[in-house]
């Protein structure tokens, strides 16, 4: 067994921190949009149930948003400490884009977050709704800049390389931002965020529906409403996500064929390629063991033609191949979960037609089990994307081994251990608070974050409560 190097530890540390981080922004993006929809429905219909749900999920948003910010700041430091060579060479491209993200999106979110969180009783309804929309738009803009940066690393365009320093210098910002994979990855990620929230909301609703049945009372209107909204979201968005994933697959085949070969576990390029449902890719012996596949379907899915040619890993030098074992399984887990999501959505439509939507235990149990499904699919998709890009940080141009900092193994191991300990303490506490909040049933007259709590101006002076304009 090879001993761990600083490069191995740097990659493990970044994978660990980004794995924690990506969950929270995705949850924030979907939840902010959900809050904007709830408040908009409340203003349009006047039904108090939408306001109750808004207040119920606003608490969760505050915790998730905070954990997302904290975990994201850590990654910024890692670029300087562990990946200084990458930062030096790709900094002229990625630095401005990350700065634009802060100036446009983060400031927008931070500027209106306080009004959204605590202003329901202090500003007009229209202004408060505008603040909620601004926070939601801010999360989407933030996601766009981050994905533009990451997509440039996948499909770099619009740059020149300085011959003296090897640095990537911007030549055409339009091509840099709107690089070939950006639009497809943006849509795929946005839909993934909405599905994450749909299944969390659906899971919480299903839990309270099952609990009400077990205790022999009727579920509240708020529980029924949020479960219904979540299942509508699953039924509509999950099939769209499958189509979006298909278009991204076509884009990846065009611009990153080596990644497709690793995802499919194919070693020899061929037409009428099968779609492997199972197999164990063996990088050392250049084969995939125990293959179970469907003839021709691989070509049909990847090229939309039975005679389409699918690339194989042997088309590329050994030192340019991504580890097929990891991306082969992460990709299939993601796809399988996506199919299950669509199946749950279609099943919910069938039960609505049958008139048993709120009484069918099978649907409620399935929705409860599927609560974390969106996050698992999201992480598997991210692993497929990032590991499939290896052995490059900037695809085809800058190797990961040439991107790491000249740092010792003990120092890297120490920071890795510290991150693991702190992350598990902080995020376990955050998860416990979220679960405790979800255990309470949303009800009529739901309290928001500002209800019956003192507030302070400048951190010192307690402000008096204002009359509740919302009630």
Per-residue exposure over 33-55, b if at least 16 CB sit within 10 Å of its own CB, e if not: bbbbbbbebbeeeeebbbbbbbb
* Contact partners, residue 73, CB within 8 Å, separation at least 6: none
Q: What is the pLDDT of residues 12-59, one digit of tens each?
A: 888 888 888 888 888 999 999 999 999 999 999 999 999 999 999 998
| Mean of pLDDT values over 228-246 | 94
What is the reported pLDDT for 437? 87
| Mean of pLDDT values over 448-469 | 48
Give the Cα separation of 265 and 288 in Å (integer). 6
Q: Quick one: tokens of 375?
A: 């996050």
Q: What is the pLDDT of residues 389-416, one digit of tens each?
A: 999 999 999 999 999 888 888 888 888 8
Q: Quick one: tokens of 256?
A: 């990153």
Instruction: Please state which of the ranges 103-107, 135-139, 201-205, 273-277 shows the lowest mean pLDDT.
Output: 103-107
- Going 63 to 68 to 74 to 77, the CA torsion angle's sign is negative
* Contact partners, residue 417, CB within 8 Å, separation at least 6: none
End-to-end CA, the chain: 66
Give the Cα separation of 439 and 449 in Å (integer). 17
The residue extents of the domains of the chain are 180-407
Calculate the average pLDDT of the chain: 88
Query: Is residue 461 very low, low, confident or very high in pLDDT (cuts 50, 70, 90)?
Result: very low
Q: Flag whether pLDDT at 187 surpasses 60.
A: yes
């Amino acid at each position: 067994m090879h001993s761990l190097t600083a490069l191995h530890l740097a990659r493990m540390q970044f994978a660990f921190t980004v794995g924690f981080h990506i969950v929270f922004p995705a949850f924030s993006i979907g939840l902010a949009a959900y809050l904007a929809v709830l408040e908009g429905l409340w203003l349009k219909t006047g039904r108090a149930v939408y306001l109750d749900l808004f207040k119920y999920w606003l608490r969760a948003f505050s915790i998730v948003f905070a954990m997302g910010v904290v975990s994201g700041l850590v990654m910024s430091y890692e670029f300087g400490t562990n990946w200084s060579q990458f930062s030096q060479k790709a900094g002229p491209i990625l630095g401005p884009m990350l700065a634009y993200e802060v100036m446009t999106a983060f400031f927008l979110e931070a500027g209106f977050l306080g009004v959204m969180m605590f202003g329901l009783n202090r500003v007009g309804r229209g202004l408060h709704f505008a603040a909620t929309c601004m926070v939601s738009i801010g999360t989407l803009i933030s996601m766009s800049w981050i994905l533009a940066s990451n997509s440039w690393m996948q499909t770099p365009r619009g740059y020149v390389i300085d011959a003296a320093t090897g640095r990537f210098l911007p030549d055409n910002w339009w091509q840099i931002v709107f690089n070939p994979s950006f639009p497809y990855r943006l849509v795929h990620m946005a839909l993934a965020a909405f599905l994450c929230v749909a299944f969390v909301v659906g899971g919480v609703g299903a839990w309270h529906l099952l609990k009400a049945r077990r205790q022999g009372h009727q579920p509240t209107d708020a529980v029924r409403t949020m479960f219904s909204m979540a299942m509508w979201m699953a039924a509509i968005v999950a099939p769209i996500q499958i189509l979006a994933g298909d278009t991204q697959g076509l884009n990846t085949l065009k611009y990153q064929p080596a990644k497709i070969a690793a995802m499919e576990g194919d070693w020899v390029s061929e037409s009428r390629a099968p779609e492997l449902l199972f197999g164990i890719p063996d990088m050392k012996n250049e084969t995939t063991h125990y293959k179970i596949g469907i003839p021709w379907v691989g070509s049909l899915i990847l090229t939309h033609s039975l005679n389409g040619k699918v690339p194989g890993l042997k088309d590329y030098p050994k030192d340019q191949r991504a580890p097929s074992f990891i991306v082969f399984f992460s990709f299939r887990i993601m796809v399988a979960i996506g199919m299950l999501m669509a199946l749950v959505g279609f099943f919910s439509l069938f039960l609505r037609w049958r008139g048993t939507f709120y009484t069918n235990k099978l649907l409620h149990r399935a929705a409860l089990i599927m609560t974390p499904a969106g996050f698992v699919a999201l992480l598997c998709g991210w692993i497929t994307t990032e590991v499939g890009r290896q052995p490059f940080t900037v695809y085809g141009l800058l190797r990961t081994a040439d991107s790491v900092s000249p740092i010792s193994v003990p120092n890297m191991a120490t920071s890795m251990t510290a991150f693991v300990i702190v992350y598990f303490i902080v995020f376990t506490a955050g998860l416990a608070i979220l679960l405790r909040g979800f255990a309470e049933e949303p009800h009529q007259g739901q309290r928001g974050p500002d209800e019956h709590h003192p507030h302070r101006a400048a951190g010192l002076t307690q402000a008096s409560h204002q009359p509740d304009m919302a009630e």
